[in-house]
Amino acid sequence: MDALDVDDLVAGVLAGNRRAVARAISLVEDGRTELEDLSAGIYARTGRAATVGLTGAPGVGKSTLAAGLVTKARSAGIRVAVLAVDPTSPYTGGALLGDRVRMQEHATDPDVFIRSMATRGHLGGMALAAPEAVRILDAAGYQLVMVETVGVGQAEVEVAAATDTAVVVMAPGLGDAVQMAKAGILEVADVFVVNKHDREGAGELVRELRQMLHLGAARPWDPPIAQTVATTREGVDALWDAIQAHGTWAVETGARDAKRRARLLAEVESLAAERFREAATAVLERDPHLAGEVADRRTDPYRAAAELVRRSRADR
């Protein structure tokens, strides 16, 4: 399978072949044009997996919690995939070695798939790459797909918000609830976890978080706060139950389908905007005059953008 045959790749993904799945996710990482045919080939077979996002500051214990949740899923007979989305760096090459070590207990289980994904080549970054990779794992028959993000910022929060159940992980001493609120993370959380619950300041963090949550308007789902010590697996059962409870609620009320539909439309809009951005880049490259006008401050960016829209629309 060295020359890329997309039909073979689609067949491999749909059959749950691990090498095909890995190869397909590499296509997403690199932003290859074959993605469109791959997407067309698998799309009808997606929408079956439950998706869970795990987000939180570095060092809160997301990967250890993910390993615990994988164990719970496997004991329930559920095939599970973990996707660690990593806006990668040449210094690490996208290999989250520490995370892989923490996942080692699952390394030989054929029904567990673990993958770090960099998004260097993908236009639109991880916000567009992650949903496509999730669909590949979904189409390959993983019933639960967990998406772990590295970093806590606007883009990472969006990736977590694009899953069925967004889990926000905190730990005492690593940024307080107010800091999390600043990152816009409270609104998207369906389940909170205060990990390292045996450490000083954990009780205070839980109280602070409860207060913040009650400041906002009442929401149809009141996010529970699970308290865990991921390294000893304490509280992981309760966290699993909280995730399941949110999933059941979301399916029964129709909230899940409404959220999925809204995020699919947003994705289509973003993909269209990215295609258009490529067209705009091509126009600018062919005609450096407009670029010079902006650089020399004869035209401001908004007026230049309007002109670029006009020219790119005409450019077919």
Q: Kindly state whether residue 47 participates in binding its own copies, applying the rule CB under 8 A.
A: yes
User: What residues from 218 to 257 belong to the interface with its own copies (CB under 8 A)?
Assistant: none
* Interatomic CA distance for residues 67 and 101, integer angstroms: 10
Q: Kindly state whether residue 297 participates in binding its own copies, applying the rule CB under 8 A.
A: yes
The pattern of x and - marking residues 79 through 98 that bind its own copies according to CB under 8 A reads -------xxxxxxx---x-x
Q: Kindly state whether residue 308 participates in binding its own copies, applying the rule CB under 8 A.
A: yes
Stretch that binds its own copies, among 71-79, 167-175, 222-230, 248-256 (CB under 8 A): 167-175
> Which residues are CB-neighbours of 177 under 8 A, at least 6 positions away?
170, 186, 205, 208, 209, 211, 212
Pairing assessment for the beta strands 165-170 and 225-227 based on DSSP bridges: unpaired
Q: Kindly state whether residue 32 participates in binding its own copies, applying the rule CB under 8 A.
A: no
Number of Cβ within 10 Å of residue 154's Cβ equals 10
User: What residues from 270 to 289 belong to the interface with its own copies (CB under 8 A)?
Assistant: 270-277, 280-281, 284
Among 22, 78, 111, 184, binds its own copies (CB under 8 A): 184
Number of Cβ within 10 Å of residue 285's Cβ equals 9
Instruction: Quote the least distance from Cβ 136 to its own copies, whole Å.
Output: 12
Closest residue by Cα to residue 128 from 104, 97, 94, 162: 162
Instruction: Quote the least distance from Cβ 88 to its own copies, whole Å.
Output: 7
Q: Kindly state whether residue 172 participates in binding its own copies, applying the rule CB under 8 A.
A: no
Q: Kindly state whether residue 155 participates in binding its own copies, applying the rule CB under 8 A.
A: yes
Phi-psi region of 77 (alpha: psi -120 to 50; beta: other; left: phi over 0): left
Instruction: Quote the least distance from Cβ 310 to its own copies, whole Å.
Output: 9
User: What residues from 110 to 149 belong to the interface with its own copies (CB under 8 A)?
Assistant: 125-126, 131-132, 149
Q: Which is nearer to its own copies, 62 or 197 (CB)?
A: 62
Among 1, 11, 15, 40, binds its own copies (CB under 8 A): 40
Q: Find the helix or strand (DSSP H, E) in which 265 lies.
A: helix 255-286
Instruction: Quote the least distance from Cβ 241 to its own copies, whole Å.
Output: 26
Instruction: Quote the least distance from Cβ 137 to its own copies, whole Å.
Output: 16
Phi, psi of 285 (to 5 degrees): -70, -35
Among 18, 19, 261, 286, binds its own copies (CB under 8 A): 261
Among 4, 76, 107, 306, binds its own copies (CB under 8 A): 306
Size of the site for its own copies (CB under 8 A): 87
Q: Kindly state whether residue 212 participates in binding its own copies, applying the rule CB under 8 A.
A: yes
* Interatomic CA distance for residues 221 and 12, integer angstroms: 39
Structural tokens at position 154: 């606007």
With helix as H, strand as E and coil as C, how does 12-78 read?
Answer: HHHCCCHHHHHHHHHHHHHCCCCHHHHHHHHHHHCCCCEEEEEECCCCCCHHHHHHHHHHHHHHCCC
Among 14, 16, 30, 57, binds its own copies (CB under 8 A): 57
Among 182, 207, 210, 286, binds its own copies (CB under 8 A): 182
Structural tokens at position 53: 């996002």
